[in-house]
Chain A
Amino acid sequence: MNTLFVIAKNTFQQAIRDKILYGIILFAFLFIGSTIILSSLAIEENIFIIRTFGLAGIYVFGLIITIFLGASLIYEEVEKRTTYIMLAKPVTRTSLLIGKFLGLLSAVALTTLMMAIAYIAVIYSSGGGIDYPAIIAVGLQIMEMALLITILMLFSIFTTPLASTIYTIIILYIGHLLSLILEYASKTGGIAKTVLITIYYLAPNLEKFNIRNLVAHNIPLSWQEVTFSLGYALIYIAFIFYITRLVFNRKDL
């Protein structure tokens, strides 16, 4: 357990020391701050504009940070041969993976929370009060990022950072378009239908973590759905993690 937290802490420190990360965070703050100016263009509904743009900004920049930090997570360790040093000590491959995951998730969660604080400050100063539902939206976003981190980790074991990034972006889009895939499946038949339905059930449904549209319209959240989404995230993370562990254990370092 101790080694796990040491690896997590080192991964976290390594991630937050990256100068490019600060550049991304700066742009995120500028974007969130600029929503005040953008909302004035809308004349009315300025709180709605700030909410939609703010939450979208947190999501997009959160994605950029996750993919930027996670794409080379394991790949760099293997390329630089630092895994040998770590695994020479009483550290299992599983601990290494879990530690890396927790470290990166902490870094992503920290940056996401920083953006969320900036967003809440902007909404509050614009007269929208404290946007509590947005906090839940950000929480679900962190779960989505956690899922993407496990996917990135899996890809980074056997491919380059660029390829990991591309594959993850493809899965990201698929994850948000599964309802469309199901719609196409209902209109087709034969093997195509089977393939599409298989994709629908096996691909990660990232729309489960998307409550931004509900928050923007002040629609009350269903706690049952939020709990269901959290459960789905935890099970999916465990599933991908298990596959990652199998692949990593078999990898010839």
Chain B
Amino acid sequence: MALFFSFCLSSIIFLQYYYDLQKKEKPLIEPTIIPAKAIKIADLGLHSFASAFMWLYTIQKMADSPTKLPELIETVNELDPKFSYPYAFSALLLPAFGFDKEAVKIAKRGIESADPDWRIPYYLATAYHIFFKDRKNAAFYFDLAARTPNADEVAKRVASRYGLLGTTREQTKAIWQSIYDTSEDEIIKERAENYLVHIEILELLEKAVLIYKQKFGTDPLKLEDLITAKIIREIPSSPLELNFYTENGRILVH
């Protein structure tokens, strides 16, 4: 009896392990997105629940099926237009996946329909500043974020100084620092941290180029010259997966 029990248990565990191994080799199936209208018919009026469920599903599918992100988020929004966080999340993360227009469209819809949430215009303004280099729209949405009820004090400070104090890079640093400080979302915090580290590396390399010029009277031809001159030990890699290079004393990325 004990032998039979052990055999069954170990067979179940082995079959599950073997199934998981097989599953890894199979290509991932793109998620099927049920239209929001169909979900609304079936959900017995529990639209907020259906939206929250779809949101959890979207977060899980984000890494595996990034191409479906805008559709998934639109389904979440359609089920519950007042659920604010997905709009803010889209504004900041969708441009990183190449969905610039969709990010703006979703965020603007969120500003109109969602519960008042300063993060939607703030993250949209950040997207305009960083990804689209549109300072005018960035200033507009930063101002809107600052005037939204319950806006974070850190965000209000950054928004009020935007375009008035500091260089573009200082403003960018302040924006990402404020996002890092005010968000509890690990994905967004990681994104903010990556940008801050990227900017730090940029500043480090610029200082290194200045030191090289002071020492040798000329700009380095390539970054490896800084290593040869023993100013830096190695060229740091950007967490944004961009490569640094130097041209006429400036640090550029590609």
Closest to A55 in B: B49
When A41-B60, A213-B80 are in contact, do A53 and B44 touch as well, CB less than 8 Å?
no
B33 close to chain A: CB less than 8 A: no
Closest to B186 in A: A43
Chain A, residue nearest B189 (CB)? A43
Q: Is A53 a contact partner of B52 (Cβ separation < 8 A)? A: yes
| Among B48, B55, B82, contact of A42 (Cβ-Cβ < 8 Å) | B55
In the complex, the answer to whether B47 meets A42 with C-beta atoms within 8 Å is no
Interface extent on B, as a size class? 20 to 34
The answer for the CA separation of A175 and B187 in the assembled complex, in Å, is 41
- State the majority secondary structure of interface residues on A: helix
In the complex, the answer to whether B41 meets A177 with C-beta atoms within 8 Å is yes
Indicate if the CB atoms of B184 and A172 lie closer than 8 Å. Answer: no
> What distance in Å separates the Cβ of A51 from its nearest Cβ neighbour in chain B?
8
Q: Is the CB of A49 within 8 A of B60?
A: no
B-side contacts of A42, CB under 8 Å: 52, 55-56, 59, 85
In the complex, what residue of chain B is closest to A218 when comparing beta carbons? B115
A207 at the interface (CB under 8 A from B): yes
When C-beta atoms are compared, the residue in chain A nearest to B56 turns out to be A41
Inter-subunit contact B183/A217 (CB<8 Å): no
* A176 touching B82 in the complex, CB below 8 Å, given contacts A42-B55, A49-B52, A49-B56: no
Q: What is the total number of residues of chain A having a CB less than 8 Å from a CB of chain B?
A: 30
Whether, in the assembled complex, B46 has its beta carbon less than 8 Å from a beta carbon of chain A, the answer is yes
* Contact partner, B82, options A41, A212, A217, Cβ 8 Å: A217
A52 & B52 in contact (Cβ 8 Å cutoff): yes
A52 touches B48 (CB 8 A): yes
The proximity string for B residues 50-89 relative to A, scoring 1 for CB distances below 8 Å and 0 otherwise, is 0111011001100000000000000000001011010000
Q: Are B183 and A44 in contact (CB under 8 A)?
A: yes
Are the C-beta atoms of A38 and B183 separated by less than 8 Å? no
User: Which residue in chain B gives the minimum CB-CB distance to A41?
Assistant: B56
**A206 to B46 CA separation, bound complex (whole angstroms):** 12
Contacting residues of chain A (175-226) with chain B, CB-CB under 8 angstroms: 176-177, 180, 206-207, 210, 212-213, 216-219
Query: In the complex, are the beta carbons of A38 and B56 less than 8 A apart?
Result: yes
Answer whether residue B45 sits at the interface, using C-beta atoms and an 8 A cutoff: yes
Interface pair A44/B44, CB less than 8 Å apart? no
B170 within 8 A of A: no
Name B80's closest neighbour in chain A (CB-CB): A213
Whether B48 lies near A176 (C-beta < 8 A) is no
For the complex, give the distance between the alpha carbons of A207 and B80 in Å: 16
A48 at the interface (CB under 8 A from B): yes
Q: Indicate whether A56 reaches chain B with its CB closer than 8 angstroms.
A: yes
CB contacts (< 8 Å) of B30 on chain A: these are none
A43 & B185 in contact (Cβ 8 Å cutoff):
yes
Closest B residue to A216 by beta carbon equals: B48
Contact B45 A217 (CB under 8 A): no
In the bound assembly, the distance between CA atoms of A176 and B49 in angstroms comes to: 15
Question: Is A61's CB within 8 Å of the partner chain B?
Answer: no
A 103-136 to B, binary, CB cutoff 8 A, 1 in contact else 0: 0000000000000000000000000000000000
- From B41, B47, B59, contact of A213 by CB (8 A): B47
**Would A45 and B49 be within 8 Å (CB), given that A38-B56, A177-B41, A180-B41 are in contact?**
no
A44 close to B49 (CB less than 8 A): no
Residue in A43, A172, A206 whose CB lies within 8 Å of B187: A43
A75 within 8 A of B: no
Q: Report whether A172 and B59 are in contact in the complex, using a CB–CB cutoff of 8 Å.
A: no
* Cβ–Cβ contact A213 & B56, under 8 A: no
Neighbour of A172 across the interface among B44, B47, B60, CB < 8 A: B44
The 8 closest A-B pairs by CB, nearest first: A56-B49, A216-B48, A52-B52, A210-B45, A52-B48, A43-B185, A176-B45, A213-B48
Sample of 14 A–B contacts (CB below 8 Å): A41-B56, A41-B59, A42-B59, A43-B59, A43-B184, A44-B85, A44-B185, A48-B52, A48-B85, A51-B48, A52-B49, A53-B49, A63-B44, A180-B41
Seed contacts A52-B51, A176-B45; 7 additional CB < 8 Å A-B pairs = A42-B52, A53-B49, A56-B49, A59-B44, A172-B44, A212-B49, A213-B82
Task: List residues of chain B with CB under 8 Å of any chain A CB.
Answer: 41, 44-49, 51-53, 55-56, 59-60, 80, 82-83, 85, 115, 183-187
